[in-house]
């Protein structure tokens, strides 16, 4: 594999960041085209490997992919370059918009426009919720967890951080018990075999 310059790495991920609306999943085909097909920085297999790990890591998908890919090509400094590349265009664009809008906050027309947009935002956040419910085939317990989470946040103003902490505690306890049971099972099978002999 030829050595990729840090500038090139940052530039390619800036381009990806600049041309994706909605971020995350919309970025995947673009990264695939730029990194795998056009520049041949990595094989398709390697890309799908990175993709699957990035998807099962916490954080923002687009940022995770760029960090993984940067690390694969140039190590730690490469991951910094790729991450900066991904975040910088959005940062600058938002900054420009924020500076511009700061002066127009009380404008009558801007106010009318946002009055029309606000209900739309609620719908746009609701769409992925429905998509996820359809995709994940929730059983009754998982459905209760989802509804309870939403209710706690909306009505009791509980921070999602506490809900996540409780979830982690339950998850790791369940995993520990599961593993101990498995070991005990293995142990008892072993004993039975020994008993037969």
Partner 1 sequence: MIFLELFWTFLLIGIFTFGGGYAMLSLIQSEVVTEHAWITAEQFTDIVAISQATPGPVGINTATYVGYTVTHNLGYSEWACVGGSALATFAVVLPSFILVLIICRLYERVKKSDLFRSLMKEIRPVVIGMIAAAAGILITPQNFFHWSSWLLLAGAFISCKFFKVNPIWVIIAGGLIGLAIY
Q: Which position among 11, 44, 77, 126 is part of the footprint of partner 1 (CB under 8 A)?
A: 126
Binding residues among 7-66 for partner 1 as defined by CB under 8 A = 17-24, 27, 49, 53-64
| Piece of 1-9, 34-42, 167-175, 184-192 that binds partner 1 (CB under 8 A) | 167-175
Closest to partner 1 by CB, 36 vs 86, is 86
Contact between residue 62 and residue 86 where contact means Cβ atoms under 8 Å apart:
yes
Closest to partner 1 by CB, 44 vs 148, is 148
Residue 3, sorted as left (phi over 0), alpha (psi -120 to 50) or beta, turns out to be beta
Q: How far is the CB of 69 from partner 1 (least distance, A)?
A: 10
Question: How many Å apart are CA 77 and CA 147, to the nearest integer?
Answer: 43
Q: Which of 50, 73, 77 is nearest to 3 (CA)?
A: 73
Contact between residue 23 and residue 60 where contact means Cβ atoms under 8 Å apart:
yes
Q: Which position among 40, 76, 186, 190 is part of the footprint of partner 1 (CB under 8 A)?
A: 76
Q: How far is the CB of 40 from partner 1 (least distance, A)?
A: 21
Binding residues among 86-115 for partner 1 as defined by CB under 8 A = 86-87, 89-91, 93-95, 97-99, 101-102, 109, 112-115
16 three-state secondary structure: helix
Closest to partner 1 by CB, 2 vs 157, is 157
Q: How far is the CB of 158 from partner 1 (least distance, A)?
A: 8
DSSP structure string for 38-104: IS--S-HHHHHHHHHHHHTSSS-HHHHHHHHHHHHHHHHHHHHHHHHHHHHHHHHHHHHHHHHHHTT
Q: Which position among 5, 11, 104, 160 is part of the footprint of partner 1 (CB under 8 A)?
A: 160
């Amino acid at each position: 594999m030829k050595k990729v310059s840090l500038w090139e790495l940052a530039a390619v991920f800036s381009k990806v960041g600049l041309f994706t609306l909605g971020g995350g999943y919309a970025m995947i085909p673009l990264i695939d085209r730029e990194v795998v097909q056009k520049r041949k920085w990595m094989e398709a297999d390697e890309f799908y490997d990175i993709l699957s790990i990035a998807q099962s890591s916490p954080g923002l998908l687009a940022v995770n992919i760029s960090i993984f890919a940067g690390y694969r090509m140039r190590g730690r400094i490469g991951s910094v370059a790729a991450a900066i590349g991904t975040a910088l265009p959005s940062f600058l664009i938002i900054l420009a918009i924020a500076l511009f809008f700061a002066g127009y906050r009380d404008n009558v027309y801007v106010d009318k426009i946002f009055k029309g947009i606000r209900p739309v935002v609620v719908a746009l956040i609701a769409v992925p919720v429905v998509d996820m419910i359809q995709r994940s085939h929730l059983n009754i317990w998982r459905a209760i967890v989802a509804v309870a989470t939403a209710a706690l946040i909306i009505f009791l103003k509980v921070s999602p951080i506490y809900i996540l902490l409780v979830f982690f505690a339950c998850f790791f306890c369940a995993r520990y018990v599961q593993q101990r049971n498995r070991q005990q099972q293995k142990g008892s099978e072993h004993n039975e075999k020994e008993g037969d002999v």
